[in-house]
Structure 1
Amino acid sequence: MSTLRLPLPHDDRHFVGYLSAARALSPSAVLLLDDLQRANRRTLEVLAGLQEPAVGTYCTPVQPGHAGLEHLARTVIALRPLARADSERLLAAMIEATPAPELVDDLHRCSRGRPSLLRLAVDAHRTGGSLRILDGTAHLAGTGTFSFPAPNHPVMQRLRLLGRAEWGVLKALTVLHPLGTAAEQMVADRLKMSAAELGEVLARLSPHLSRTAGTWRFRVPLVERCVREQLGPWERQDLSRSAVIALWDGTATCSDPSYLPERLIDAGRLVDTGRAATELLEAGRAAMVDNPSHSQRWLRAAARSHTDPATRATALALHAVVCGSRHDHRLAVESTAQVLRQCARLISPDLLQEIQVTRLIALAANRETAALHAIAEHGSGALPGSDGCRAVTAALALSLVGQWGQASRLLANTRTTWSSANNTTATYGELLHVETAVLSGRMAALDRLVKDPELLPLFRDPRHRLTTLTHLARILIGLGETARAEHLLSRHDGHSMPLSDADSALIGLRTGAWRPALRQSRLALADSVSVGQPIPHTALIHETTMALAAGGWLRRARAVIEQGRTNQAAVPHVLDLAEAELELVINRRERARHLLEHGLSSAARQNLMMITDDMWLRILLLCPSKSHTALAELKRIACRMGTGRTRRNYLLGRAIVCKDRGDQAVKVARDRGQPAEVAETLELVALHTGWGNTRLLREAYEIYGHLDALLPRARLRRLMAEQSIPVPGRAATVAETERLLAILVSEGLTNRELARVLQTTEKSVESRLTRLFQRAGYRSRVELAAAMMTGRYPGSPQPQT
């Protein structure tokens, strides 16, 4: 049966003719009529007399003006908003990608599950550039914008058709409703309505508004945002002026700390600009940690409107710092350059140092390596600020281009200068000194600050307390000391502090939460979140690569390494290790050995020791002739650094070379509580010492299963079969093997490459692919790859990367 959908005409007086014309177009069609709540009595009478089948929709609850609908309705079906799961499915279809959980939560919440509003939100984020798709997963980027719909958008048109009075009240309330009980009188005065008239309008707006404790609220947050955007410049300015005056003279109150600063910006010159600029500066400074997006906007507005040159310079500098903290690197480069060019002498020495650091990190994140090299090569002479400030800035530039030896010598030669300078210079100098020391294997300075962070001058500043703590914690996380990092944060705050995507990803990758950690990692690497701290940044690249490779996503793993090299990661030997381990996965042992030797030579030239223990352990496994040299190096590194990872690597190397039981290595690995490390330790002890083969291999196999590490599982199945160790779950094993093959195919591997990775023959690969295509119903590699990318392959959601 066909249908004919008709919106209710704007002029109901011509409804009969309108209906006749529609019926003539399609005599047998079922009529679908929208927005019947706008129908007048005559229209309802016509509809009641229809003999033909018709379906109408109208907004609920039914208002007195169109009560006839209840009499007209024969069957009422309440259309409830979408549940979150339904919104997720609809978003996936709209975006043609898998929406990240945070994206689903945000859009479902702001639209309250209304399909048309979900579409509006997707289009607005996509147009504004804030919707980002990485490896088939959609995310909201922190630096994008929300492109509001035009006035002729269908959603806006439906709201405007409510009526002139209703539209005016809605617009006014988008600005005034947070003022609570005062808002009604202000709206009535502005629209020249009596209290009774306003009450009638508000009653008709009940589908869109609700009232709680005397305060009107929009039922759907996205509707409020979109209606407010329809305000003309003068309307917005005048409404905001009324709100500011009411708050300043005490006739209204608002509990939302962001409300007044936003109204001050919108009111512009209609209020006291001097007072407004001062309050914006205070609000922006207070919100720098907890609400950086608002802080950035308020500080920029304060800088534009303040008349005092020194205060304006402070606002501009703080705005630049917030741009850096939000990872808005392009704007951070522009803002810091403006500060240094126009008002470097007007800001405090502490703030000048912060500006210098922000600029260098933003340049590194923006891949502006020429500018970084220029600062590093010219030294501290061409930089603004005191001698200490210039020394720390130059040392940071050197470190960001990988010249760690020169950075360390500069800091050592100027220590008296920068340590006695302002608090910010002394703190950044000390943190950079710690980082250079850790990279060369000297842990004393880090241990001292972890034990007592109050030795850092900025630790006593509330705005910088979290920054200094997380800086130390990131170094520990980069070294694999996740338990110490979490203890440090909880010890000084009483509870776990919120961490960035990069921090959470690295902890998750270490502790076995690979799926959410990979998603966070991909976002962090795309936004260069951790680029200012090379130790955790390169560790994140390494761990991300290993997790992706273990899951079979080999091309994606290689892309992460290539991205790290393109960005000129400041600790390149870690990338050599990551690439070598990837080559081992695909059974290219000679290429892996070459990369390891190259990385060790590079580290030796820079006097770097961090992560070289992992490299020596791989050399020990690959080159039996160098096993004693490698073991001696592992012992030296473990004695010098003393971390859990270096001690585990030495004990494991000793077990392999000396053929002891390896129980000490296993115990250290278990105590560290990092599943991938435990599984690798169990596997190597079982294979190279002959101790507890069956039990250890089975346990390693089970751990890899929890991690969804498909390639190590496949490798262990072959080893267990060779040693006649039963593999549990034959049916599950077949499904897992096919899933691994499907992933490798979706990664674009040829049959020859598949054979090398799976350590089988090309003929065997062809047979497996034929069975896979027949069982799954795919006709080509392209169809299979598409199914993997969209998560349609049975039992195999795509990796959250």
Structure 2
Amino acid sequence: MPRPSGHTPEGEAGDFRDLVVDIVDKLRMPGRPLVVLSGPAGAELSRALSEMRSCAEEQGLTTVNLPFSENTPLFHLADRIPSFEDRRNTPTLLVVEEIQRVAAAAVGGLEGLVRQLAATGTRSLCTVALPLPSAVEPAMVAMLARLRRDGLAEHVRLRPLPPRRLDALVTGAIGAKPAPELAALLWRATRGWPATVTAALRIMREHDLVRFVDRHAFLGPVDGAPHLPDSDALVLPIRRMGRDVWAAAKAAAVFGPLGDAAPRLVGDALGVPESEARRLLAGLEAAGVLRFRRAQRTWSFRPPLLGFALRWVLGPYERHRMAQVAVSAVWAGEAPEPDARYLADLLMSAGRMAPADRAKDTLLAIAGRRSFIDTDRAVRWLRAAADLSSDTQERAQILLTQARLCLARGTPLLALESSQALLLSLAGQLTPGQLLEVYFVHLTALHEAGETAVLERIADEGWLPGPGGQPHRSGFRLLALVLLNRWRQARDLLAADDLDPAFTSLRALVRLWFGEPAEFENSAAALAAGAGDPRQRPQQACWYAGALLTLGELGRAEQLLAETGLAAEHLRLPGRVLVAAERGRFDEALELARKSIATGPPFGSDVGQAGMYQVAATILASRGKLARARELLAAGRAGRPALGHLLAVPEALIEVALGRTAQARAVLREALDQAEDDGLVVHTDVLWTALADLAVRTGCQEEVPQCLREVELVAKQMGTGRAELNRLALLALVDKDPKAAEAGIDLARRRGQPMELASLLERLVRYGVADPALLAEAYDLLGGLDALMSRAWLRNTMRCNGISIPGRQATVAENERLLAVLVAEGLGNKQIATALQASEKSVEGRLSRLFARTGYHCRVELATAMLSGQFTG
């Protein structure tokens, strides 16, 4: 069919709505009685047609479907035309589906029928499934050209959505914005066809391949390929084409990348001559299912998702057998050398049906090259290689590598499976150092998988599921206690036992949390000086840097990384979140936090886990996204992170924003009580400072001196910059000491953390111990962080202190955007008024103006537009 002329509207939020409206408008125009709608056979054309009928009926057109197939004589349709003439007073849309089924000799009769319908004034819509059959294509194209020449027809061709529209499509379908990796995967698999995107999302959700965090969707860790029934809606149309075609399609999904060799291999797999295989493949091409890409010399499916799905419906024997056929052809030189990932997948599927040693070596080589790119697949390739190895020592080494990778990728169950195999069957093949590492992996995987019963036994009895002397048992008992957040018992164990030197880092970290930093400081200094096992230094440096970042010691963490030849990119995601947040890169911090939560284990054990949740929730709250911040905190607590009391600070901030100061105080007090029960000192200065600030807000300043005394104790014990900053701020408040305020400001500037500095400046001015002119600097800093809520509050403080607010128009726009955010968060007018520190009547007026200006009719429409990115303020 010729390409349609003029503008082709794009689909909207998962459908062809704009296109449909445009077509209905064309049909209502005088002299345009026929629209021919062409598109790929199957779900896309059916979806567009369904929406067409709905839209036509919404606009007062009655749709009538005429049954048509290659067996329907045209005169049967023509005989029904008088009945339409009787209904000329009632607008009618005649729909005839898939006219490409007409025989070539009957195209002329079809043209006559169209002209006869045009004479009656009946509006008609015909659909054409592409590609056109070669026998009918010339006559059909010529017919349409004549009808267009005479002004009787217009051709509209369905187009997939462009990549830039995919986010809106996915957001409309699942209510969450896709992460870039997920959007890219969906685009590669669907090429932007809406119905196919919907099918892909359905499969992903059914197989738990997509995870949702903060109204964003991510591709989670993949343990293996999905297994689809052959009755799945995506592949059912091919199955209905007949048994032989169905078998050929599945084989083509496996052999397609092998290009010119594919027809012969399809024949070999099906036990038929190559000529018969070519006939079957040609049938799939004619149906628009399969195509041969001449430039790449490969066979591929339209869309690619269909090829994936056909591989997912293969039974175990089919999968092994076809993979064996493909591998044999490649290694015999009878097929071109394929992409490394494709070859590794074939070897994994073939198992021992391929030559074991060669398959194992190839899998190891490919996994080694691509482990940081295709981590999920590399994990499976390594396990397949281990299963193929007949050397127990080699198998142990492969499983250890795979277990490490599983843990790093956030698939603790796979790590647990491999570490357990090592401990129970292959411990004798490991060096003492490797055995220690296996135990570390095993206990961490137990925690991250939520297997607390085994950890409890290790913590209570010192029991281990394998060999190891008593010093090791004490060390792993300490690790189990820490993972279970049983801090008091961990402290008692440290006092009673002289642990093996292998646990120096763990012991130093635990003592740091108890406010005893000396051993940590000495160990970090030795590490920076090059002490210790060079193979362990990178991991230990990242661990220590994560601890420093949790304490807010960004400069020291970056220095330690640099001294050990590392950078922030070498940290695990929680650590990278803290670096980005403390440097003021809030958008990056949120993106990394969402990714960490979505792709990480359900019960993370990373040292920066609680800090990550804390800063991510604080960022969201500072931007007015209070419900989302609360959801994030709930997810953080469900993961039972170490140092869970850190989450109390953003939770109290949310309560304050909603005017619930009593609840905020209770949250902070409960966290302090819990920290005291656990014997933890780390970050209690932040809790005491937040409690003091709340006391100032509520006029209960008699509590502040006690808060200062507690913060002074923490600052003395921990020696961190953040604790000292909090001490100076409270000292300035209690003693009305401008010099303490100046010292605090100087320290905050040197620390270089924008949110910390802005918050300090605002507090000191509010305490009456600093120049109000500093509010302008704080306001500018918060603007760079896009902290809408914090800026709105600060404007009130600036007005009270007579400080001018720059940029009136920008302020109005910012207020509107914050209002839209709060609406999207589901807050009522009264809650919004409290959050904005305004009157309820003022909020009502601002909302009315917002809806009038934007054209949205209700809160739900506005919230949807905010989520999809269609409205950004």
Return the alpha-carbon distance in structure 2 between the equivalents of residues 174 and 649 of structure 1.
63
Where relative contact order (Cα < 8 A, 6+ residues apart) is larger, the structure is: 2
- The alpha carbon displacement at 1:121 in A equals 0.8
Instruction: Tell me which of 433, 436, 439 is aligned to 2:510.
Output: 436
Aligned to 1:715: 793
Aligned to 1:93: 172
- The alpha carbon displacement at 1:202 in A equals 10
Aligned to 2:478: 395
1:379-394 aligned within 5 A? 379=462, 384-394=467-477
Cα gap change, 1:33 to 1:367, in 2 (>3 Å): same
Return the alpha-carbon distance in structure 1 between the equivalents of residues 845 and 658 of structure 2.
23
Cα gap change, 1:702 to 1:17, in 2 (>3 Å): farther
Cα gap change, 1:351 to 1:192, in 2 (>3 Å): farther
Return the alpha-carbon distance in structure 2 between the equivalents of residues 125 and 793 of structure 1.
21
Aligned to 2:144: 73
Return the alpha-carbon distance in structure 2 between the equivalents of residues 381 and 737 of structure 1.
59
**CA shift digits 1:361-392 (9 cap, x unpaired):** 34433444444333212235776434454333
Instruction: Tell me which of 767, 776, 779 is aligned to 1:698.
Output: 776
Return the alpha-carbon distance in structure 2 between the equivalents of residues 490 and 47 of structure 1.
77
- Aligned: 1:786 with 2:860: yes
- The alpha carbon displacement at 1:83 in A equals 0.9
**C-alpha contact 1:35 1:59 (8 A) present in aligned 2:** no
Return the alpha-carbon distance in structure 2 between the equivalents of residues 488 and 21 of structure 1.
87
Aligned to 2:16: none
- Aligned: 1:506 with 2:587: no
- Aligned: 1:270 with 2:353: yes
Return the alpha-carbon distance in structure 2 between the equivalents of residues 349 and 304 of structure 1.
24
SS in 2 for 1:455: coil
**CA shift digits 1:69-106 (9 cap, x unpaired):** 33233255454321123322222332244444443332
Cα gap change, 1:408 to 1:143, in 2 (>3 Å): farther
- The alpha carbon displacement at 1:399 in A equals 1.0
1:164-183 aligned within 5 A? 171-179=250-258, 183=262
Return the alpha-carbon distance in structure 2 between the equivalents of residues 668 and 508 of structure 1.
20
SS in 1 for 2:294: strand
Aligned to 2:196: 117
SS in 1 for 2:192: coil
Cα gap change, 1:378 to 1:101, in 2 (>3 Å): same
Aligned to 2:500: 418
**C-alpha contact 1:577 1:599 (8 A) present in aligned 2:** no
Return the alpha-carbon distance in structure 2 between the equivalents of residues 168 and 410 of structure 1.
64
Return the alpha-carbon distance in structure 2 between the equivalents of residues 263 and 7 of structure 1.
46
Aligned to 1:238: 321
**CA shift digits 1:149-193 (9 cap, x unpaired):** 655666546667999998776544432344466556645776633
- Aligned: 1:610 with 2:682: yes
Tell me the C-alpha RMSD between the 2 structures.
4.7
1:314-329 aligned within 5 A? 320-329=403-412
SS in 1 for 2:126: strand
**C-alpha contact 1:103 1:139 (8 A) present in aligned 2:** yes
**C-alpha contact 1:530 1:537 (8 A) present in aligned 2:** no
**CA shift digits 1:267-303 (9 cap, x unpaired):** 3453345654675567667765543312332344456
1:204-219 aligned within 5 A? 208-212=291-295, 214-215=297-298
1:93-242 aligned within 5 A? 93-134=172-213, 136-143=215-222, 151=230, 156=235, 171-179=250-258, 183=262, 186=265, 192-193=273-274, 208-212=291-295, 214-215=297-298, 220-229=303-312, 231=314, 235-242=318-325
- Aligned: 1:459 with 2:459: no
- Aligned: 1:471 with 2:543: yes
**C-alpha contact 2:545 2:561 (8 A) present in aligned 1:** yes
- The alpha carbon displacement at 1:676 in A equals 1.5
Aligned to 1:423: none
**C-alpha contact 1:478 1:536 (8 A) present in aligned 2:** yes
- Aligned: 1:34 with 2:98: yes
**C-alpha contact 1:170 1:227 (8 A) present in aligned 2:** yes
- The alpha carbon displacement at 1:589 in A equals 5.3
Cα gap change, 1:286 to 1:726, in 2 (>3 Å): closer
For normalisation by structure 2, the TM-score amounts to 0.74
Return the alpha-carbon distance in structure 1 between the equivalents of residues 807 and 589 of structure 2.
28
**C-alpha contact 2:289 2:301 (8 A) present in aligned 1:** no
Return the alpha-carbon distance in structure 2 between the equivalents of residues 688 and 290 of structure 1.
52
Aligned to 2:130: 59
Could you tell me which amino acid in structure 2 is paired with residue 127 of structure 1? E
Could you tell me which amino acid in structure 1 is paired with residue 798 of structure 2? M
Return the alpha-carbon distance in structure 1 between the equivalents of residues 350 and 821 of structure 2.
56
- The alpha carbon displacement at 1:792 in A equals 4.8
Return the alpha-carbon distance in structure 1 between the equivalents of residues 732 and 487 of structure 2.
34
**C-alpha contact 1:209 1:219 (8 A) present in aligned 2:** no
Q: Pick which of 325-334 and 741-750 moved more.
A: 741-750
Cα gap change, 1:93 to 1:793, in 2 (>3 Å): closer
Aligned to 1:375: 458
Aligned to 2:40: none
Return the alpha-carbon distance in structure 2 between the equivalents of residues 788 and 431 of structure 1.
51
Instruction: Tell me which of 242, 258, 261 is aligned to 2:344.
Output: 261
SS in 2 for 1:660: helix
1:735-754 aligned within 5 A? 736-737=814-815, 740=818
SS in 1 for 2:608: helix
Instruction: Tell me which of 726, 730, 752 is aligned to 1:649.
Output: 726
Aligned to 1:357: 440
Return the alpha-carbon distance in structure 1 between the equivalents of residues 227 and 451 of structure 2.
33
Return the alpha-carbon distance in structure 2 between the equivalents of residues 214 and 62 of structure 1.
23
Instruction: Tell me the number of residue pairs that the alignment of Structure 1 and Structure 2 aligns.
Output: 774
Return the alpha-carbon distance in structure 2 between the equivalents of residues 562 and 213 of structure 1.
50
Could you tell me which amino acid in structure 2 is paired with residue 254 of structure 1? E
Instruction: Tell me which of 667, 670, 682 is aligned to 2:761.
Output: 682
Could you tell me which amino acid in structure 1 is paired with residue 98 of structure 2? D
Aligned to 1:768: 842
Could you tell me which amino acid in structure 1 is paired with residue 166 of structure 2? S
SS in 2 for 1:385: coil
* Identical residues among aligned pairs (%): 30
Aligned to 1:422: none
Unaligned runs of 5+ in 2: 1-60, 86-91, 118-123, 149-154
Aligned to 1:727: 805
- The alpha carbon displacement at 1:437 in A equals 3.9
**CA shift digits 1:742-785 (9 cap, x unpaired):** 6556656677766665556xxx32x234325544559xxxx966
Return the alpha-carbon distance in structure 2 between the equivalents of residues 63 and 493 of structure 1.
64
- The alpha carbon displacement at 1:480 in A equals 2.7
**C-alpha contact 2:823 2:863 (8 A) present in aligned 1:** no
Return the alpha-carbon distance in structure 2 between the equivalents of residues 169 and 225 of structure 1.
15
Could you tell me which amino acid in structure 1 is paired with residue 168 of structure 2? R
Return the alpha-carbon distance in structure 2 between the equivalents of residues 331 and 26 of structure 1.
66
- The alpha carbon displacement at 1:111 in A equals 0.9
For normalisation by structure 1, the TM-score amounts to 0.80
Could you tell me which amino acid in structure 1 is paired with residue 543 of structure 2? H
Return the alpha-carbon distance in structure 2 between the equivalents of residues 564 and 589 of structure 1.
23
Return the alpha-carbon distance in structure 2 between the equivalents of residues 340 and 68 of structure 1.
72
**C-alpha contact 1:584 1:592 (8 A) present in aligned 2:** yes
Unaligned runs of 5+ in 1: 420-425
